[in-house]
C-alpha cells in the first residue's frame, strides 16, 4: 500500500518517473544496479536485506558507483538513522509525511541536496546525538581538527537544517562564500554531503539539542 501510494504521487509529477518497484531489499539492490535510477527510496524495514544494508551497498564508502538513496523511516520506532548516515544516505523521509514532502525529498536528492527537509532532518539528528563516543565541551572543539571558526559556524548551521541562503543571511556572507566553506568542510572532515556534515556535528557534540 505504501509503495502504491508513493508511485501514484511521484508519477503524477511532470518531472518524475518511477522506473521500478520492488518488495524486498535484495530485489532493490539488483534493480538499482541494473536500472541506475537518479534516486532510490529505501525503507528501513524490508525483507531479505534491510534498508541500512541496502543503503551501504548502493551508497556506502565501498560502492564503486554510488547512487543517491533516501531512507524512509518511522521516527517514533526506527533508531537507525545514524547507521543510514554512515551508510551514505542522502536524505530522510517519514512514512507519514505528506505528498509534498515526498516529492521534495526525491527532487532534493536528485539535485544533490542532502537535506530533505530542515525540520525533519534536525528532529532526526537531535534524536541521535550526541553519539556515545562524542566529544563534549572543549573536546568537541578539538574534534573539529583543522576547521576554522567560520567553518564551524557553517557546520553548526547545516546541522540545524539551514539552507545555504539562510546561512548567508545569518553569517552575513555571500552564497559563493558559503559554498566555498561547505566544500572545505567536506574535504577536511572526509565527508561527502551535507547530511554527513550534520551527522558529524551532532555526533561530536559540536551542536546540541535545545
Tell me the pLDDT tens digit for each residue of 59-94: 988 888 889 998 887 765 556 666 777 778 877 777
Instruction: For residue 89, give the C-alpha cell.
Output: 544516505
What residues contact 92, with CB distance under 8 A and at least 6 apart?
70, 71, 72, 73, 81, 84, 105, 116, 120, 121, 124
Report CA-CA distances (Å) from 11 to 3, 15, 94, 116, 149: 12, 9, 19, 19, 45
Radius of gyration of the chain (CA): 17
Mean of all residue pLDDT scores within the chain = 80
Burial class (CB in 10 A: 0-12, 13-18, 19+), 15: exposed
Question: How confident is the model over 167-184, as a mean pLDDT?
Answer: 92
What pLDDT is recorded for position 135?
Answer: 42
Mean pLDDT, rounded, for 26-47: 93
37-58 exposure pattern, b = at least 16 Cβ within 10 A, e = fewer: bebbbbbbebeebbbbbbbbbb
Whether 117 has a pLDDT exceeding 70, the answer reads no
> Dihedral (C-alpha) 1, 98, 109, 68: value to the nearest 10 degrees?
-20
- 207 pLDDT higher than 70: yes
- pTM for this prediction: 0.64
Q: Please compute the mean of the pLDDT values over residues 167-171 and round it to a whole number.
A: 93
Predicted pLDDT at 26: 95
Distance CA 110, CA 38 (A): 6
Q: What is the pLDDT of residues 177-189, one digit of tens each?
A: 998 999 999 899 9
Looking at residue 171, what is its pLDDT? 94
Using pLDDT thresholds of 50, 70 and 90, give the confidence band for residue 25: very high
Amino acid at each position: 500500500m505504501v509503495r502504491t501510494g508513493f508511485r501514484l504521487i511521484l508519477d503524477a509529477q511532470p518531472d518524475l518517473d518511477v522506473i521500478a518497484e520492488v518488495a524486498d531489499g535484495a530485489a532493490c539492490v539488483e534493480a538499482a544496479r541494473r536500472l541506475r535510477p537518479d534516486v532510490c527510496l529505501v525503507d528501513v524495514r524490508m525483507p531479505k536485506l534491510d534498508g541500512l544494508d541496502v543503503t551501504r551497498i548502493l551508497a556506502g564508502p565501498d560502492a564503486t558507483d554510488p547512487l543517491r538513496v533516501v531512507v524512509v523511516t518511522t521516527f517514533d520506532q526506527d533508531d537507525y538513522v545514524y547507521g543510514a548516515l554512515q551508510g551514505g544516505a542522502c536524505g530522510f523521509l517519514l512514512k507519514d509525511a505528506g505528498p509534498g514532502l515526498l516529492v521534495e525529498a526525491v527532487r532534493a536528492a536528485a539535485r544533490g541536496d542532502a537535506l530533505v527537509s530542515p525540520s525533519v532532518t534536525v528532529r532526526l539528528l537531535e534524536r541521535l546525538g550526541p553519539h556515545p563516543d562524542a566529544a563534549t565541551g572543549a573536546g568537541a572543539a578539538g574534534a573539529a581538527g583543522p576547521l576554522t571558526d567560520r567553518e564551524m559556524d557553517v557546520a553548526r548551521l547545516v546541522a540545524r537544517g539551514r539552507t545555504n541562503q539562510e546561512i548567508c543571511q545569518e553569517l552575513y556572507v555571500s552564497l559563493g562564500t558559503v559554498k566555498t566553506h561547505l566544500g572545505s568542510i567536506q574535504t577536511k572532515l572526509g565527508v561527502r554531503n551535507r547530511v554527513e556534515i550534520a551527522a558529524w556535528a551532532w555526533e561530536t557534540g559540536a551542536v546540541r539539542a535545545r
